[in-house]
Amino acid sequence: MRLSELVRFGSSHCNISCIFLTQVFFRIPKVIKDCCNVFIIYRPVDLDEISTLGRRVGLKKEDINHLFNSFLPDWRDSLLINLIPNAPYKFGKNLFEPIEMNESDDDEE
């Protein structure tokens, strides 16, 4: 409960940036996920989980599968999803490499 209050009130009224690390994305309270702007997702062992993770962060199943299959081949790769408006890039590989999705990437699906 206090963690949710910190995220809701602290980040909006006190200019606090919060970083949460977890191995189980589905145990994060919904209010915290709703307030997050940036997600970093590592390739899960269960590949069906990728689709569910994508839906929870606002991506279509096909889009997140395409990102992992096309740009993140190694099992240690991570996908950065940046939901901040006007961000320089929406997706990144391993935190520092921008992934540029162009029209041809969307047409392949």
pLDDT tens for 21-53 read: 787 888 888 888 887 888 888 888 777 888 888
Cα→Cα distances 9→2, 5, 83, Å: 10, 6, 20
According to the model, what pLDDT value does residue 1 have?
A: 62
Return the higher-pLDDT residue of 77 and 45.
Answer: 77
> For residue 4, which of 25, 26, 27, 35 has the smallest C-alpha distance?
35
The edge-to-edge listing of strands for the beta sheet with 91-93 is 38-42, 78-82, 91-93, 97-99
pTM of the model: 0.77
Domain map (residue ranges) of the chain:
2-104
Q: How confident is the model at residue 15 (pLDDT cuts 50, 70, 90)?
A: confident
